[in-house]
Structure 1
Amino acid sequence: MPSTPTPQCVRRLQKELSALCREAESFFFTRPSAKSILVWYFVIKGPADTPYEGGRYFGKLNFPPDYPMKPPEIIILTPNGRFETNKSICLTMSNYHPENWSPLWGVRTILTGLLSFMVGDELTTGCMTSSDELRRKYARESRRFNAEKMPVYKELFPEEYQKDLEELKREDSEKNGRTSGSAGCGANTKGGGVMESQEKEQWRGLFPALLGLFAVLMGAYFWPW
């Protein structure tokens, strides 16, 4: 398989990146590797009212040189309790099923499908079973894992990395305050709670719409015309 992307592949990925960069707030953010346009890294935000709430799930898409004629490989790097880390995930829109792939699909379709599958219970290659309690634990630890264990996360998403450092600093301060009996952490706790509440409300409106859109896309493609 050639390692150099075709001109069509480069144009398509550049077009998708430009469109995604113009979008307003979304459930994910993504950026290509500085080394190759065929490797994209992404972060999916855990939906409210799920065991993944508050989580930040870092992963990557490995595109074939002839994308969009063939689908990419999908890999999650952050421990999450749903997918094995550093393993290819078998989904309809992944490289496991090129026969089901449509060139009309793109990064947004892929990540919407990944999130839809993530919050479900179906098992496939690259999945794992675990308790909701463990998944919530991974969600709480995800920011720290990405910031401390994933250098490429810091490199590609410096703004998110700084936000994570501030959040981790706040959490550590609260823990130290509870341990010492300090009364000075109340304001920080309240501030963090407001941010979390706002994000929850955004998710409650956005998440069902995203899943509905994904269902429409899948139905349109597989409908027996």
Structure 2
Amino acid sequence: MAKSNQGETSITLDSSSDDSSPPSWDPMPTSPITPANTPQCLTTSSPIDGLRAQAQQANDPTRSLHFVQRVKRDMLAIYHDPPPGIFVIQDEQDLTLIHALITGSFETPYEGGFFYFIVRCPPDYPIKPPKVKLMTTAGGTVRFNPNLYKCGKVCISILGTWPGPAWSPALTISSVLISIQSLLTEKPYHNEPGFERERYPGDSKRYNEIIQHETIRVAVCGMIDNDYGLTIPQPLVEAMNQSFLQFYEYYESTVKAKMHLTGNTMQDPFGEQRGVFNYKNLLTRLETIYNRLKPKDSSSSSSCSPESD
């Protein structure tokens, strides 16, 4: 079962920065899809406890009753009418710090993946948008989308990190998460500006093959096993474990169908060095995780056993 690892990953979402500039992220290496469009990821060594302390030390008119009530209303709206594939929980020590899990949608290369985000509502929320960081990056080594950087930056217009419609106080935490979920499309290659058409035939398919492999490797196996030492709240861990069992047949069939790619070099159309496909290893990992998570009474869940047809 995935664990709530106590080795916390460094996070700072600097609410004092200008809207047009990127938030302050970890000192993770970045690799551009197109060099001209790559923002600089700023460095920091502040852990999540430091983020909580930041919030508490900010001028505390900021923590006014109205401000906290607005965040609570946003969260209650999600609890009462949860968007499909989105799970949220407030931080135990700071109610304005939100942990969110977005699962990849059906019929996309992200299908069945678990994408973990940290959302922080700044002191002037909802006048200003929340700050968001993607944590599912294999320790800052995998870029899942033209709008989702290795350093965790999330590029959407309502966050002030991408051209387009700006933030409005009428928008909510749910609005932000749904907008992020909408990035996980059937053909994410075309999210990159100027790539509405393929530069070379087959580019979109090649990109999808990479994203599908990395989703299963990093956003499924890596998240369930917590390979990267993330501090994930237990309710989200349980949601991942339960969803893994529901998705298992899809994972297994996908990996088996792509087994012929094992050993081939990933050809990223944007020029990133991605390594090689290793579906043989992924199948072994999936089976190991399944056998660990499956109900002990195997007679009640034989339909998705790795040994089943």
Shared fold (TM-score, shorter chain, > 0.5): yes
TM range (shorter): 0.5 to 0.7
Are the equivalent residues in 1 in contact too, given 2:87–2:100 (CA < 8 A)? yes
Matched, 1:44 2:113: no
| SS of match in other structure, 1:29 | strand
Find the aligned partners of 2:223 and 2:165 in 1 and give their Cα distance.
34
Are the equivalent residues in 1 in contact too, given 2:85–2:102 (CA < 8 A)? yes
Find the aligned partners of 1:108 and 1:192 in 2 and give their Cα distance.
39
Q: Shift of residue 170 of structure 1?
A: 9.2
Aligned Cα root-mean-square deviation (Å): 3.8
Match of 1:88 in 2: 153
Match of 1:116 in 2: 182
Find the aligned partners of 1:174 and 1:52 in 2 and give their Cα distance.
19
Matched, 1:137 2:245: no
Are the equivalent residues in 2 in contact too, given 1:6–1:66 (CA < 8 A)? no
Find the aligned partners of 1:174 and 1:85 in 2 and give their Cα distance.
26
Find the aligned partners of 1:3 and 1:118 in 2 and give their Cα distance.
37
Find the aligned partners of 1:122 and 1:159 in 2 and give their Cα distance.
32
* Alignment CA distance shift 1:186-1:24 (3 Å): same
1:169-190 alpha-carbon deviations (Å, 9 max, x no partner): 99325999xxxxxxxx974348
1:1-225 → structure 2 map (5 Å cutoff)? 1=16, 2=58, 4=60, 5-23=63-81, 26-79=84-137, 81-82=144-145, 83-96=148-161, 100-119=166-185, 120=188, 121-123=190-192, 131-141=207-217, 142-147=219-224, 148=226, 149-163=228-242, 171-173=286-288, 187-189=303-305
Find the aligned partners of 1:99 and 1:25 in 2 and give their Cα distance.
22
Find the aligned partners of 2:290 and 2:237 in 1 and give their Cα distance.
26
Are the equivalent residues in 1 in contact too, given 2:90–2:98 (CA < 8 A)? yes
* Alignment CA distance shift 1:170-1:138 (3 Å): closer
**2:287 partner amino acid:** D
Larger radius of gyration: 2
Are the equivalent residues in 1 in contact too, given 2:112–2:244 (CA < 8 A)? no
Are the equivalent residues in 1 in contact too, given 2:118–2:132 (CA < 8 A)? yes
| SS of match in other structure, 1:59 | strand
- What is the identity percentage for the equivalent residue pairs of Structure 1 and Structure 2? 17
Find the aligned partners of 2:308 and 2:106 in 1 and give their Cα distance.
15
**1:160 partner amino acid:** A
**1:112 partner amino acid:** I
Find the aligned partners of 1:64 and 1:132 in 2 and give their Cα distance.
35
1:146-203 alpha-carbon deviations (Å, 9 max, x no partner): 2313542243524214426766999325999xxxxxxxx974348999xxxxxxxxxx
TM-score (norm 1): 0.65
1:66-94 alpha-carbon deviations (Å, 9 max, x no partner): 11110012211113621224432231111
| SS of match in other structure, 1:87 | coil
1:17-49 alpha-carbon deviations (Å, 9 max, x no partner): 122112256221111222322221111111111
**1:103 partner amino acid:** P
**1:172 partner amino acid:** E
Find the aligned partners of 1:99 and 1:174 in 2 and give their Cα distance.
42
RCO greater where, 1 or 2, for CA within 8 Å and sep 6 or more? Answer: 2
Find the aligned partners of 1:84 and 1:133 in 2 and give their Cα distance.
18
- In structure 1, the gaps of 5 or more residues are 177-184, 194-225
Find the aligned partners of 1:89 and 1:63 in 2 and give their Cα distance.
15
* Alignment CA distance shift 1:139-1:111 (3 Å): same
TM-score (norm 2): 0.49
